Chain A
């Protein structure tokens, strides 16, 4: 399968101010951007926040190319959303909605570009720790995030492969020839990933829990 573009930027090692910012602050930034996307009702405010997020991304040293790639991958979907909203609700609303989505994507990219994945997983596991008293396993929360990060580029790559295969057979206009194979590949991928994780003993119950189960 071909190499896959990734919606969010991969970690870029560095020592910028953004890299040194504690993980909780970056988490808060992403959460705040998510919440703000519902609250910002003026497209000019959305544009200003988007510009600020892009500035933060560039300040991290992750580079303009990575930023443009993340935005470029969103372009087809955002174009469709933007056109539909323009038709339904007018240009200012369409611009606001598209910009708000971009704010969230760039904010998440700032987080992933400046934080090693293991640190991110440790953070997620730490956040989930209070739920342990209710029987939750924090490591499973972390693993879920890891799988999500891995699955998005895989599915994007599968779509690109299937589209090429459909083109080669002259079926590029047939939605069934695109959707069905992607769906089947995704289900197969989910099963393979499940097997691979199980084989590596990842996502299983803690040792104590398992040995108790073994004794029962």
Chain B
């Protein structure tokens, strides 16, 4: 289980007097199998996800994954929590898919031939074996995203974080990703702008202006988010008219 206890994230910004708050007053227990995070750009979605893997550390409060704190036992946390970024090219380190999956396994599997066999099995599981030796630049966006997913899942984390994984994908690849995610046994926490994808979740958090403003069933969360967007659009229009 993932637990956030009264978490706030603040950063200092050049040219600003006080620190900027990226997240504030977050207290959550994440037990559901599929959790979505929706909200506008810059609202704090990615910061929330990054907190769960220790990529961002809380300025106050604490984040625990199965009882391990992200500030004290980061390696234990990262062995349990995998992270898939929006752009797979920033995540894939090696020239080919096979090599990248093998790189993921270097820490856990010391024997080279065993490592190669495990990588092959992972690639086969995701239907990527025929692309294993191609340059990552020759793959389509969907294939790259699947490969990034395979490289993360190779080390069998119990939790998978995905930061807007469908943003760069076309309709067909988005559907492929959606089906792949549906078949995973890992707990998933995913930030997304794709409201259809959010509706597949068991629970959805709405983040706005560095706070969780809604936490509940997907349909109600999506409705809340739409209302927020409509209100902010209206507000912007009114302020333009005043000017």
Contact = CB atoms under 8 A, between A and B. Distances in A.
Interface of A: 1-4, 6, 10-11, 13, 116-119, 121-122, 139, 142, 146-147, 149-150, 153, 157, 189, 192-193, 195-202, 204-205, 207, 210-211, 214
A3 B135 contact: yes
Contact of B83 (A6, A139, A142, A199): A199
Most buried by B among A2, A118, A210, A211: A118
B78 A117 contact: no
A11 B68 CA distance: 41
B103 A122 contact: no
B93 interface: yes
- Which 10 pairs of residues, A with B, have the shortest CB-CB distance? A199-B83, A210-B75, A192-B90, A3-B137, A201-B78, A214-B73, A196-B91, A117-B99, A118-B102, A150-B93
Contacts of B85: 192, 195-196, 199
Contacts of A118: 99, 102-103, 106, 112, 115-116
A204 B83 contact: no
- Chain A contact surface mostly: helix
B118 to A, nearest CB: 12
Most buried by B among A10, A117, A192, A207: A117
B131 to A, nearest CB: 14
Given A117-B95, A117-B99, A210-B74, A202 B89 contact: no
Size class of B's contact patch? 35 or more
B73 A147 contact: no
Contacts of B107: 139, 201-202
19 contacts: A10-B95, A11-B95, A116-B99, A119-B112, A121-B103, A121-B106, A146-B94, A146-B103, A149-B95, A193-B93, A196-B90, A196-B93, A198-B55, A200-B82, A200-B152, A201-B75, A202-B106, A210-B76, A211-B75
Interface string B63-80: 000001000111110110
B135 A147 contact: no
Given A13-B133, A199-B78, A3 B106 contact: no
Most buried by A among B91, B99, B104: B99
A167 B68 CA distance: 52
Contacts of B112: 118-119, 122
Given A3-B138, A214-B76, A147 B115 contact: no
A193 B102 contact: no
B90 A193 contact: yes
Interface in B78-136: 78-79, 82-83, 85, 87, 89-91, 93-96, 99, 102-104, 106-107, 112, 115-116, 133, 135
Interface in B113-167: 115-116, 133, 135, 137-138, 151-152, 155
B53 interface: yes
Nearest to B80: A201
